[in-house]
């Protein structure tokens, strides 16, 4: 995505824009963004050609190499199902590391008795 107009941050509303950036600066930013996207795509293709796993090669693509913050509503039953899938040995390393941290830091301290039973059930299967 390359914007057709670069907007200015609103002074009194952190979630809004207000007005447009001056044309010369906007042109420069557009050129820089296009170059950034093209360079990232070239690095992505190069990594793939070297045999790098797609999920790691994507780190060269804009938007894939940053962490995002969000809020999730989840019930424990479905969360444990998600964790079972994502903590499996055949899951991608990055999602497995995320799931293990989520389980150890948040889920297990929140529901230790249920997690103990869940771990026993996982070991038995």
Give the catalytic positions in this structure: 86
Q: Which of 100, 101, 106 is nearest to 85 (CA)?
A: 100
Distance of CA 49 to the CA centre of its chain: 24
Pair of tokens at residue 33: 């963004």
Q: What backbone phi and psi angles, to 5 degrees, belong to 7? A: -95, 155
């Amino acid at each position: 995505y390359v914007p057709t107009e670069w907007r200015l941050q609103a002074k009194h509303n952190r979630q809004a824009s207000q007005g447009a950036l001056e044309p010369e600066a906007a042109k420069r930013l557009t050129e820089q963004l296009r170059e950034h996207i093209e360079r990232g795509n070239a690095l992505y293709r190069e990594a793939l050609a070297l045999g790098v796993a797609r999920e790691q090669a994507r780190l060269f693509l804009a938007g894939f190499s940053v962490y995002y913050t969000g809020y999730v509503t989840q019930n424990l039953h479905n969360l444990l199902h998600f964790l079972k899938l994502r903590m499996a040995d055949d899951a991608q390393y990055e999602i497995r590391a995320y799931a293990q941290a989520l389980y150890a830091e948040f889920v297990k301290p929140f529901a230790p008795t249920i997690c103990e039973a869940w771990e026993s059930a996982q070991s038995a299967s």
